Structure 1
Amino acid sequence: MPTGVHDSALIVNAFRAKYPSVSSDHFATLWITEESEKWAKAYAEKVGPTEVLVHALRHRFFLEELSRFLDMFPDGVFINIGAGFTNYPYLIPSRNSCCEIDTEFNLNFKKKKLAEFNLNGAIPDRMIQFITVDDLNNLNEITALSLVLKEWVDGRPSFILFEGVFFYLKPETISFLYSILASLQKKGDIVAATSFRPEECSKEMFKRLVEYCRRDYRMMDFMPTTVPTIFYAQQSGYLLASHENYYGLSMKYGFHDKLDKPEEVLEEDCYILERL
């Protein structure tokens, strides 16, 4: 059994590795262990088997959006908040500056593993700034983070990603994050995110996911957050440039036959907001 929510990063990585042709993450296998594979299998059994494919789909979508952004802005930077063990910096062809934000526990483990991968020649050299934030629900930590990011971004075009993060954050935290980010981004910059719409709460799969978090991640008092689409559409200073769900992505990438039963798919929608 996982020791806490930080192990979700290993589980999601195992999902990406299961469908490398979908996720386009050919580095995901580097993180696989016998233990993490067992966790991923148990998660899929307890929550639902379609969870494996949908995590690969969303990764593919965000990787393509990030690559498109960096093609348009060669000096652009990438910021991944709640980065987990994703490999985005190594999957983009150029050596753009990247910043990854996560807990001290996750970052220490990740930096150790990346050093091993690099020593073995398994990954290319990349410029990554790691920033520790142990509690994204702590507004003081977010405020301090914003000051560091503003200096680091230094006016460059930025693509900021929240992948699988909002589910764990308080609504007021999410709103505060967007107000902070608007102050450091400029026209054409991007904030990408995933979140569940409130309608998903009625699905048995959603209830099983919440129960899984409380039991297997040991988050006994966990209360999930859902975000209505209108939150993104009405976000001050931003345009909702793209909104995708998993079924739409499965149609786009040729896997719609595996997601043809809506009640068996947890739709954590993908949003792309462009700074006005």
Structure 2
Amino acid sequence: MQDKDWIEVHETAFVTSMYRASNEGLSKDTYAKLWSNPKTYKWIEGFLEHVSEEEPYAHCLRNRYFYEFVKANNNIEVVINFGCGFSMYPFLLDDHLIHIEIDLPNIIEHKKAKVNDWTASGDLPKRNIHYISSDFSSRYEGELLRKIHSITNHKRSLIILEGVLFFLNMEQTKRLFRFFNAIQTKGDYIGSVSFQDSIRTTEVFERLVNFFQDKTEENREFICQTLPDSFYETISDYNLIEHQDYYSLSKAYAPNKITKKPKDVLNEHVYILRKIE
């Protein structure tokens, strides 16, 4: 990352990686620390001070959930990570899986180069990974559809969508889910992460929005999208089969953990959809 007074949206991928590295026992991510750098620590310190100290724990829970979901559903053959950032799922999961990593060109270019270096040096195990650059605010459907279908060949897939919808508007979100329907077959899964509408009235969400507006890309305006449960309940051709949040995941994976500041929890919800068979 360059030395500047603000952070670009794509650079939040470094921050997320450091959150996951903060508790490897919980997140199960033993490779996230490879992305560490001094500037990331600086931004994390600012976030913890001005927004919420609970955020690293929340990200560890989310990573653990998808890790456990894939391991428990051994019929999944392809993991498609839309807005993959620097997540390390390919190296945490079984080596028979096919992974499709999709993000903005600068993220994909940097991630592919670093992963190739770390694989060559033995710091990462070899995995079957396909990298695709895409911008969800552009007209991406045709080319991306062809690329994905050439890889999946109707194999059972899980789409992971985390840390993305916050930055999209509703029309972009609906387009994305229509696209998911086009690339998936009956029985395939979507795992999506978003905030509920009710969080907008909380002080911690207000601090989150202010932090992004003050500290990222020279005060770029953010959409800060939230979604009601009904959005997922009414998606065509899919059933909502599972719904988790910070508290249910904490109970499952860290039952003895005491949340010191409940009002500082940015409670993201995780939804699992399955295409109707």
TM-score calculated relative to the size of structure 1:
0.93
CA offsets 1:137-179 (integer angstroms, 9 cap, x no match): 22x1244322322332211111101011100111111111111
Q: What one-letter code is carried by the residue in structure 1 that aligns with 2:75? A: M
Count of residues in Structure 1 that have an aligned counterpart in Structure 2? 271
Quote the residue 1:270 is aligned against.
Answer: 270
CA drift at 1:84 = 0.4
What CA distance in whole angstroms lies between the structure 1 residues aligned with 2:201 and 2:146?
A: 39
Matching residue within 61, 66, 69 for 2:70: 66
Quote the residue 2:50 is aligned against.
Answer: 46
Contact 1:23–1:59 (CA under 8 A) maintained in structure 2: yes
- Runs (5+) with no aligned partner, structure 2: none
Quote the residue 2:119 is aligned against.
Answer: 118
Contact 1:247–1:259 (CA under 8 A) maintained in structure 2: no
Which has the larger share of helix?
1
Q: 1:246 to 1:256 in 2, by over 3 A?
A: farther
What CA distance in whole angstroms lies between the structure 1 residues aligned with 2:259 and 2:80?
A: 31
Quote the residue 2:238 is aligned against.
Answer: 238
Matching residue within 6, 11, 16 for 1:7: 11
Quote the residue 2:99 is aligned against.
Answer: 98
Quote the residue 1:184 is aligned against.
Answer: 183
Q: What one-letter code is carried by the residue in structure 2 that aligns with 1:57? A: L
Q: What one-letter code is carried by the residue in structure 1 that aligns with 2:126? A: D
What CA distance in whole angstroms lies between the structure 2 residues aligned with 1:164 and 1:7?
A: 12
Q: Is 1:201 aligned to 2:200, yes or no? A: yes
CA offsets 1:56-95 (integer angstroms, 9 cap, x no match): 10110011112223x124xx11100100000000001223
Secondary structure at 2:270's aligned position in 1?
Answer: strand
Contact 1:250–1:259 (CA under 8 A) maintained in structure 2: no
- Runs (5+) with no aligned partner, structure 1: none
What CA distance in whole angstroms lies between the structure 2 residues aligned with 1:204 and 1:142?
A: 37
Q: Is 1:56 aligned to 2:55, yes or no? A: no
Q: What one-letter code is carried by the residue in structure 1 that aligns with 2:268? A: E
Q: 1:43 to 1:143 in 2, by over 3 A?
A: farther
Contact 1:12–1:40 (CA under 8 A) maintained in structure 2: no
Quote the residue 2:254 is aligned against.
Answer: 254
Q: What one-letter code is carried by the residue in structure 2 that aligns with 1:47? A: V
Q: 1:50 to 1:256 in 2, by over 3 A?
A: farther
Secondary structure at 2:86's aligned position in 1?
Answer: coil
What CA distance in whole angstroms lies between the structure 1 residues aligned with 2:255 and 2:45?
A: 20
Q: Is 1:109 aligned to 2:110, yes or no? A: yes
CA drift at 1:37 = 1.8
What CA distance in whole angstroms lies between the structure 2 residues aligned with 1:156 and 1:102?
A: 22
Q: 1:224 to 1:254 in 2, by over 3 A?
A: same
CA offsets 1:211-270 (integer angstroms, 9 cap, x no match): 111121125221211110111111111111110010111111125643365422111101
Contact 1:81–1:100 (CA under 8 A) maintained in structure 2: yes
RMSD: 1.5
Contact 1:137–1:170 (CA under 8 A) maintained in structure 2: no
Matching residue within 24, 27, 31 for 2:31: 27
Contact 1:96–1:127 (CA under 8 A) maintained in structure 2: yes
Quote the residue 2:155 is aligned against.
Answer: 156
